[in-house]
Structure 1
Amino acid sequence: MVFATLDMVDDQIKTAKSVLKGLELREDGCVYVIRNSIRWAFYVHHGKLAYASHSLDSFERLERHLRGLSREVPALNDKLRSQLRLIFDDPNPDNAKYKVTSEILCTEYLALLWLVNENYLPKPLASKLVARMAQEVIESFLCLEDGQFIEKYYPHLLRNIYCKLTTSQILDVVEKRLQAWYSLGPTICSPHQCLYLVSQTSAARRMSMDTVQRLGRILRGFNFYQLGALLGKDPLMLAKQLSPMIKDGSILLRDPLPPFDLLPPTYRLSPDEEEYNINQLSETLEEFEETANDGISSISQVLAHGSPKTWKVVCIDDSESMLSIIRSYLGSEDFQVTLIQDSMKALMKITSIRPDLILLDIGMPNVDGYQLCSLIRKSSSLKDIPIVMVTGNKGLIDRARAKLAGATDYLTKPFVQSDLLKMMMRHLI
């Protein structure tokens, strides 16, 4: 059976907007748009958009949006989100359970179907989730420069449809949001830029020192999308509120981390075009300037809820150098880090500490990580603590063994600080 036809776009120059509008004329199915090494997937049903995704860590996008919905559905907690990743986010597509389907149907959509079928996610909220994720994807897609687009068409394989959006609906919302993102440039040029608080003294001129300290705990290299998931707020709203402190140097912005550095920026125009667009957006700019002070007040209110917590993290690894790296990555302000080299003594120490999270190396002498994880899960007082298995092995068998042993998640060596902090965000913050 032939699953796809390939439509190579000729020398005609297209815009991302025209490609989206062309979806209205497509038959039911999936349109893949390939551009700049990124595969964009648009699922069409009766001329309307049923789902949208792109190939850059789509499961991270699902996890963030599920985290936002967890305020409405507590069952969508970190334990369930980790379970989803272990089930569906297969690191080796060649071994995927649904080999043919996985080439055509986005993996995170399979996870979404599972959540609905297992009664974790009501269908009305599934519709809301799909709409939010589609909006985020299309915001990035519309930032692509004009050029040649390669399109592939596949027959329809969506087993359930929770949301149907017209192109006019999408463009009306997304183009206004992109104008707002553009108005924050050139300082803020991507929702995936990473934020760090670098000057508490400067920030304290705008808010109380208590709020500054809370802000410093949050701004540890997370991007605007991740901050939105952490705080339950629209990333665009947070960018607007934090913009004054970014401009005065209180907050440092760094370029998006891979793979998100491949996505097009929200601010990228020639000088002449910039001048023209700034004039066209003058009303929007004035609106942002008028509400800047209100934004600082709002961010203070967002951070005011709940008292700061120092998270207790236990790291078990026979490598002293690896333990040192983890300690340096986590720092000393937000995390109380306990390092354990001897796996034979680890269970007793964990029982007395009662940590909030355990980082557990797999390859240790005497008692290996799998065995220790199983022992921890047998303890009534420790069984619910998140356990992240840390290993240099990337194979499917190792991942399956970690799941059987009771691991909550899986972190592959070598990893950088942002990888570890993302894991902290997933299970603690």
Structure 2
Amino acid sequence: MQGNLSEIDIRSILQLIELGQRTGQLLVEASFHNNDKLTLDEAIRPRHSRNYKQQSWFVFFLNGQIIYCQEGDSNLLRIDDYLRHYRVEIRLEEKQLACLGLQSVPEYGYIWALLERNIINPKVAHSIIHHLVHQTLFDLLSLHQGNFVFLQGAALAPQLTSLEIAPLVTKIMQQVQEWKQLHPHIQSPEQLPMLADIVQLNSSLPAATVSKLQQWADGKTSLRQLARYLNRDILTVAKAMYPYVQQGWLQLVYSASNNSKTHIHDMGVGEKHTLRIVCIDDTTTIGETVESILKAEGYEAIALSNPLDAISLIFRLQPDLILCDIAMPELDGYEICAMLRQSTAFRFVPIIMLTGKDGFIDRVRASMVGATDYLTKPFGDTELLMLVEKYINAKSDLGTQIRYKTC
């Protein structure tokens, strides 16, 4: 199941998954303006536009119920904000955090790692998951344009909890409607509250209230972060701020930096310093060979052997080129290529298909799903490097997007 949100909305997609008691993951993707001033229902734009950035979300299901939701940027900021609320001071070591980056769902792995080390208890973990699911669905149910794909497959494991879709969606849809009534004074969860008229605040409000506002309205903490710190939903926090914003005592601003979400635990999705190539092949030896050849030439090469996990990982890794085997179990290369081409994030990224036979039909099918080129196995160092260098130039600007002809 895949398509565009202009044709079917998120609520209907969730209902279909619930009715069908589906197990798998839903990927939703949209584009926003870099200054974050557009609301979630603004029109989607091409990824290569300089003024727009990509946003994606993953929702994981078991038998038609939600297990977990993750934002595509895959940093651990959201969980750390809740740990601050619960006054959890202990964190994982850097080596342990680095291992999480190799998982397809690092946030979920982070929660389980904290549980296994008794840093948090199951009640706290359950609460964090519930709030993260609520936050993600609030964003998704506000979307009107974007792309989606549902991949049926094995459930995210192990499961700590599961949430029924219908009552959750009903509650959040009501909150989305109430949120719209706060416009234009409050426009985005990413806005930063800051004091605008301290004199009026002191003369009109109790000292304790002013002290609280001074603590939180520092111009550096977003409404969304406040909601996490306070363990409240975004609507509750926004409605508490609304009277003061309306009076002009508080001002809501947007971050001057597009990197305001950068965090110490960011899992490799920040600014790239070397060209990144991902190889998806269920044969481990092929992946290791590709890694060895490309790393020797200065590329950052990552081999992924599980095609289902590769779909979610690849949106975090944002590679400059993708090598993808055709014949794989559960999800073949044609399906993966077609899914990626549905996403604006990978519309112009070179995708080279790896095939065990040099057949005309394979080339035609590869071209039909949007593959850039193909490489016949077995291949040597020279063949691989010539094809890679044909489509990406290590000397070019890493931020430039180029349109590639398909094979």
TM category, shorter: 0.5 to 0.7
Structure 2 CA distance for partners of 1:98 and 1:210, relative to 1, 3 Å: closer
CA distance in 2, matches of 1:134, 1:178: 15
Can you list the C-alpha shifts for 1:277-326, whole angstroms capped at 9, x where unaligned?
xxxxxxxxxxxxxxxxxxxxxxxxxxxxxxxxxxxxxxxxxxxxxxxxxx
The structure 1 residue matched to 2:27, chosen from 29, 32, 38, is 32
User: Are 2:131 and 2:233, in contact at CA under 8 Å, matched by a contact in 1?
Assistant: no
| Counterpart mapping for 1:114-125 below 5 A | 114-125=113-124
| TM-superposed deviation, 1:44 | 0.7
| TM-superposed deviation, 1:27 | 3.4
Can you list the C-alpha shifts for 1:236-278, whole angstroms capped at 9, x where unaligned?
323212211111211110125666999xxxxxxxxxxxxxxxx
| Corresponding residue of 1:295 | none
User: Are 1:228 and 1:238, in contact at CA under 8 Å, matched by a contact in 2?
Assistant: yes
| TM-superposed deviation, 1:65 | 2.0
Structure 2 CA distance for partners of 1:28 and 1:259, relative to 1, 3 Å: farther
| 1:164 counterpart SS class | coil
| Corresponding residue of 2:3 | 9
CA distance in 2, matches of 1:135, 1:190: 16
Q: Is 1:53 matched up with 2:70?
A: yes
| 1:204 counterpart SS class | helix
- The residue type paired with residue 160 of structure 2 is Y
- The residue type paired with residue 192 of structure 2 is C
CA distance in 2, matches of 1:20, 1:260: 31
| Counterpart mapping for 1:185-224 below 5 A | 185-209=183-207, 211-221=209-219, 222-224=221-223
Q: Which runs of 5+ in 2 are unaligned?
A: 32-53, 262-299, 301-407
| TM-superposed deviation, 1:174 | 0.8
User: Are 2:192 and 2:253, in contact at CA under 8 Å, matched by a contact in 1?
Assistant: yes
CA RMSD of aligned residues (A): 3.0
Can you list the C-alpha shifts for 1:306-354, whole angstroms capped at 9, x where unaligned?
xxxxxxxxxxxxxxxxxxxxxxxxxxxxxxxxxxxxxxxxxxxxxxxxx
- The residue type paired with residue 181 of structure 1 is W
| 1:196 counterpart SS class | strand
Can you list the C-alpha shifts for 1:201-242, whole angstroms capped at 9, x where unaligned?
121232135642452233112112222344455443232122
Structure 2 CA distance for partners of 1:140 and 1:261, relative to 1, 3 Å: farther
Structure 2 CA distance for partners of 1:126 and 1:230, relative to 1, 3 Å: closer
Higher normalized helix content (fraction of residues):
1
| TM-superposed deviation, 1:110 | 0.5
CA distance in 1, matches of 2:209, 2:234: 19
The structure 1 residue matched to 2:170, chosen from 169, 172, 190, is 172
| TM-superposed deviation, 1:41 | 0.7
CA distance in 2, matches of 1:148, 1:107: 24
User: Are 1:88 and 1:110, in contact at CA under 8 Å, matched by a contact in 2?
Assistant: no
Structure 2 CA distance for partners of 1:181 and 1:210, relative to 1, 3 Å: same
| TM-superposed deviation, 1:179 | 2.4
CA distance in 2, matches of 1:234, 1:179: 14
Aligned residues: 238
Structure 2 CA distance for partners of 1:51 and 1:149, relative to 1, 3 Å: same
| TM-superposed deviation, 1:157 | 5.1
CA distance in 2, matches of 1:12, 1:208: 48
| Counterpart mapping for 1:242-321 below 5 A | 242-255=241-254
| TM-superposed deviation, 1:190 | 1.7
CA distance in 2, matches of 1:33, 1:232: 25
| Counterpart mapping for 1:19-418 below 5 A | 19-24=13-18, 25=20, 27-36=22-31, 37-56=54-73, 58-70=75-87, 76-77=88-89, 80-81=90-91, 83=92, 86-87=94-95, 90=98, 99=102, 102=103, 105-145=104-144, 147=145, 149-153=147-151, 155-156=153-154, 158-209=156-207, 211-221=209-219, 222-231=221-230, 233-255=232-254
- The residue type paired with residue 248 of structure 2 is G
| 1:163 counterpart SS class | coil
- The residue type paired with residue 62 of structure 2 is H
| 1:119 counterpart SS class | coil
Structure 2 CA distance for partners of 1:11 and 1:229, relative to 1, 3 Å: closer
Q: Which runs of 5+ in 1 are unaligned?
A: 1-6, 71-75, 91-95, 263-394, 396-429
CA distance in 1, matches of 2:74, 2:28: 17
User: Are 2:68 and 2:133, in contact at CA under 8 Å, matched by a contact in 1?
Assistant: yes
| 1:144 counterpart SS class | coil
User: Are 2:27 and 2:149, in contact at CA under 8 Å, matched by a contact in 1?
Assistant: yes
User: Are 1:88 and 1:107, in contact at CA under 8 Å, matched by a contact in 2?
Assistant: no
- The residue type paired with residue 60 of structure 1 is L
Can you list the C-alpha shifts for 1:143-200, whole angstroms capped at 9, x where unaligned?
111x452315163252211121121021122112222322222211122210110211
Percent identity over the alignment is: 18
- The residue type paired with residue 28 of structure 1 is T
| 1:56 counterpart SS class | coil
CA distance in 2, matches of 1:259, 1:68: 26
| 1:27 counterpart SS class | coil
| TM-superposed deviation, 1:50 | 0.6
CA distance in 2, matches of 1:143, 1:39: 14
- The residue type paired with residue 185 of structure 1 is H
Structure 2 CA distance for partners of 1:198 and 1:10, relative to 1, 3 Å: closer
Structure 2 CA distance for partners of 1:169 and 1:106, relative to 1, 3 Å: same
Structure 2 CA distance for partners of 1:28 and 1:121, relative to 1, 3 Å: same
CA distance in 2, matches of 1:261, 1:183: 27
- The residue type paired with residue 184 of structure 1 is L
Can you list the C-alpha shifts for 1:352-385, whole angstroms capped at 9, x where unaligned?
xxxxxxxxxxxxxxxxxxxxxxxxxxxxxxxxxx
CA distance in 2, matches of 1:208, 1:252: 19
User: Are 1:44 and 1:51, in contact at CA under 8 Å, matched by a contact in 2?
Assistant: yes
Structure 2 CA distance for partners of 1:256 and 1:88, relative to 1, 3 Å: farther
